[in-house]
Amino acid sequence: MMQAGEIESALDDLVIANRILANENVVDAYGHVSLRHPRDPRRFFLARSLSPDRVERGDLMEFDLEGNPAAGDSRQPYLERFIHAAAYEARPDVQAVVHAHAEDVLPFGITAAPLRPVIHSGSFMGEHVPVWDIRDRFGDTNLLVTNMPQGRDLARTLGGNNVALMRGHGFVAAARSLIEVVRMSVYVPRNARVLLAALRLGEVKPLSPGEIAARNAGYGIASGRGQAALARRDRRAQRRLQAILAGDLARLGVLGHARRLRAPAVEKRLALKPSDQAFSPLSGETCEFPIASGRSLIPGRITRPTRHRATLTP
């Protein structure tokens, strides 16, 4: 059974996920990431209405699958929390959800051109990315998902897919872990950007279904695994999520050395040691990541530029 400390750790991860998505420009003043309660699948955690790059542990709220805040919590929630509630309600396999307005995906929600994975790191979105149009069932609205019927309609369009576009608005991404939904939400807009550029040049060659399956198998998202195996993997993921999230920042590379970030809790838990070796999180072996920034994922805890090493085992 998950200990209270592990829930706290999961919530720390959710704070970090907010910061990563903000740093990667997946979210700006708007957009959000949520995590299903590790011990109660009928509840999930999501920040109060706040820009993701401002979110701290104390800003996280708990909701039921109707989007109602926990009793006694009168803080202002996100208006579009129903996107998350309905996704968790419809998809027992989903542990984490992102909703964002990333500009690069928007053209594919307002034209007939399908968003397809065309780069290896875009494979996580899957072969098919459906488009949800709020106007189909709800007529003229402000395009925001402001109630459960709208959220459920979106979840129906999402179906068993990993990502759905929302016409003229953004996207929703759902995954079996926080790390997966963060990774997917970072790479979906990049894939969209590449696809847009390629479409100007001519015919586009997308990833094949076999390539998508091979990619997913390598990252452990592949379907067909038993639920027990998934649960075991998720428990492992929970224990190591912070380290992996922090590692992903370095692996993403585009952050650049000057902007690399770290999760302070990782240092304590994994007894990080100074190192300047290369980072290789996906090997499941030694994960090392340089930190050259005075900036922290959780404000006020990082004070000096340094380099650290974390060792992860699968």
Q: Per residue, what are the HEC states of 1-44?
A: CCCHHHHHHHHHHHHHHHHHHHHCCCCCCCCEEEEECCCCCCEE
Judge whether 92 and 177 are in contact, CB under 8 Å.
Answer: no
Q: Which of 24, 80, 267, 288 is catalytic?
A: 80
Stretch that binds Zn ion, among 74-82, 120-128, 204-212, 237-245 (CB under 5 A): 74-82
- Pairwise CA distance, residues 256 & 279, whole Å: 13
Nearer to Zn ion, 80 or 180 (CB): 80
Closer residue to Zn ion in complex, CB, 80/288: 80
Task: Write out the binding residues for Zn ion, residues 173-212 only, by CB under 5 A.
Answer: none
3-state secondary structure of 48: strand
Measured N-to-C along each axis, helices 227-252 and 4-23 cross at an angle, to the nearest 10 degrees, of 40
Q: Examine the residue annotation and report whether 80 is marked as an active-site residue of this protein.
A: yes
Q: Which is nearer to Zn ion, 174 or 272 (CB)?
A: 174
Scanning 33-41, 46-54, 79-87, 243-251 for contacts with Zn ion by CB under 5 A, the matching segment is 79-87
Q: Tell me how many residues contact Zn ion (CB under 5 A).
A: 1
Instruction: Decide whether 181 or 298 has the Cβ nearer to Zn ion.
Output: 181
Task: Report which of 130, 41, 40 is spatially closest to residue 89, judged by C-alpha positions.
Answer: 41
Element (H, E) at 269: helix 264-269
Site mask, Zn ion, residues 230-269, x = CB under 5 A?
----------------------------------------
Q: How far is the CB of 31 from Zn ion (least distance, A)?
A: 7
* Closest CB to Zn ion among residues 80, 89: 80
Selected range binding Zn ion among 77-85, 201-209, 217-225, 242-250, rule: CB under 5 A: 77-85
Question: Angle 148-158/81-90 helices, nearest 10 degrees?
Answer: 50
Q: Can you say whether the dihedral through the CA atoms of 179, 18, 244, 38 is positive or negative?
A: negative
Strands (DSSP E) contained in the chain are 32-36, 43-47, 60-64, 96-100, 131-132, 163-166, 170-175, 286-291, 306-311
Instruction: Provide the minimum distance between the beta carbon of 27 and Zn ion in the complex, in angstroms, as a whole number.
Output: 10
Q: Which of these ranges, 76-84, 171-179, 196-204, 292-300, lies near Zn ion under the rule CB under 5 A?
A: 76-84
Active site residues: 80
Contact residues: Zn ion, CB under 5 A: 80
